[in-house]
Amino acid sequence: MSIKSFGAKIFAKHIRKKINQWANNPIKTQEKVFNKLILNARNTAFGKDHDFHTIKTHEDFVKKVPIRDYEELRPYVDRVVKGESDVLWPGKPVYFAKTSGTTSGVKYIPLTSDSMPTHIQAARNAILCYVAESGKAAFVDGKMIFLQGSPELVEKNGINLGRLSGIVAHYVPKYLQKNRLPSWETNCIDDWETKVDAIVEETVDENMTIISGIPPWVQMYFEKLKQKTGKPIGELFKNFELFIYGGVNYEPYKATFENLIGRKVASIELYPASEGFFAFQDKQNEKGMLLQLDSGMFYEFVKADEFFEGNPRRLTIKEVEIGVNYVMLISSNAGLWSYNIGDTVMFTSTSPYRLVVSGRIKHFISAFGEHVIGKEVEQAIQEAAEATGIMIKEFTVAPQINPDDSELPYHEWFVEFQENSADIKEFAIHIDNSLRKQNTYYDDLIVGNLLTTLKVRTVPKDGFNTYMKSIGKLGGQNKLPRLSNDRKIADSLTISIVK
């Protein structure tokens, strides 16, 4: 055992103990975070505008601070971007994380000296929890890679600006610098396909032990490695032990990954975003990710089916229930206040608080009142894949409201399969049956002859990559929406890709 792996085991036990302290005292932990946030920000422009000096309780906070999304918070953010201090949080941010929004165009999410360390610590702690639980640490001596955006930053009014994954690349600890791949030069390549080819060349002969990234882009990397060497990834990288992922649900990809790897590999799910690092998987055999309650973020939750009503009730952590679909709001030491990050979550446990991401509040299908959500379509396609042995690469779903030939409306699934020999009809039946079991509204529409059963359209090989490239979102942290209530994506696929 190396000194590094021995040290990792000792450090992992220490960190696990610290995590247990706040995880086992969730309500008190969140109260401390709330009070500290209000105290620190009361003399900011936002704090003064919202009477922070009068806020003592969550009830006070609800009265003074409305729910906001980026567009609604933008007047304050624009002041920060122009270089003004003490607007949303004391001082100025150290970075802006640049993201692309569907309605707001480019978004500039502030990262402060208080919030930035939590991004780094959470990712580190996820790995250390795995070490503490499994007792395995030899992988720290091997090479590790995170498929990410470019680490190159630009300056905007004295503040560095870049993609979150690129910013985080500047914080790799010194003791891991020699383990990190790819090279800085390769990481800075803008074109994603060129970048992945370069990463393949740099890593193909290395002792890769940890591989991390969003599943569809890691899958592209694995496929290129297998095409180059003719070997399964698990044979090529004999000590590959840990796959770390976030951004999308891994389960629909799992069978394809295991086929590419050739054996099972442990995995850790993360829940990072530009707005904060919210949760990570702390136990291999527990469903859900541990909510970060001690990381400078105060959480509120609104039931998803009440969110678009006037003045919906905002719940604290002590009021949530298992299995309910919530919109998650955050107030943070980056200066975001009752901020709607756009995600919906469901708790799988309240002792400790673990959750899964169930979808996006704006990504659903309810063209006929069915309100199908991301979690339901992901579970349906996973069950269909397991029942048929069919492996999928990517998919998205949209309603077909006006079909040809006087046919009833239906849900249209666009699926790229790993192989072309898929039995589409059987696959579609399994998906439809799963959706009907999960969603009674969808089942009622089928029974009532208002909808006909869904249809699956085959997307040819690399079709989704072609689509993502056409809209400038290939690779990095970009994700294909699982479902839409309109046909913007569906019509683009129908016209240019689907055979």
Residue 342 backbone dihedrals phi, psi, to 5 degrees:
95, -10
- Check: CB of residue 428 under 8 Å from CB of residue 456: yes
- The amino acid at residue 184 is W
Instruction: Give the pLDDT score at 497.
Output: 59
- Supply 28's token pair: 């008190």
How far is residue 317's CA from residue 320's CA, in Å, rounded to a whole number?
6
Q: What is the pTM of this model?
A: 0.84
Q: What is the pLDDT of residue 421?
A: 62
Provide the H-helix boundaries in 108-147: 116-134
Instruction: List the chain residues with pLDDT less than 70.
Output: 100-105, 175-176, 420-422, 476, 496-499
Which two structure tokens, joined as six digits, stand for 98?
């640049």
Q: In the prediction, which pLDDT does 414 show? A: 93
Q: Is the peptide bond before 90 cis (omega within 30 degrees of 0)?
A: no
Q: From CA 499, how far away is CA 486, in angstroms rounded?
A: 21
| pLDDT, position 54 | 97
CA angle, 351 then 356 then 358, to 5°: 140
Looking at residue 102, its pLDDT comes to 46
Helix ranges restricted to H, 206-328: 215-229, 233-236, 251-261
Six-digit token string for 426: 């059987």
Who's near 443: CB < 8 A, 6+ residues apart?
Answer: 435, 436, 437
126-157: buried (b, 16+ CB within 10 Å) or exposed (e) per residue?
bbbbbbbbeeebebbbbbbbbbbbbbebeeee
Q: What is the 3-state secondary structure (H, E, C) of 298-327?
A: EEEEEEHHHCCCCCCCCECHHHCCECCCEE
Q: Can you say whether the dihedral through the CA atoms of 450, 452, 453, 457 is positive or negative?
A: negative
Tokens of 285: 């055999």
pLDDT in tens, 160-187: 998 888 888 888 777 667 888 988 899 8
Name the 3-class secondary structure at 459.
coil
Read off the pLDDT of residues 12-27 as tens digits, 9 standing for 90 and up: 999 999 999 999 999 9
179 closest CA partner among 215, 149, 212: 212
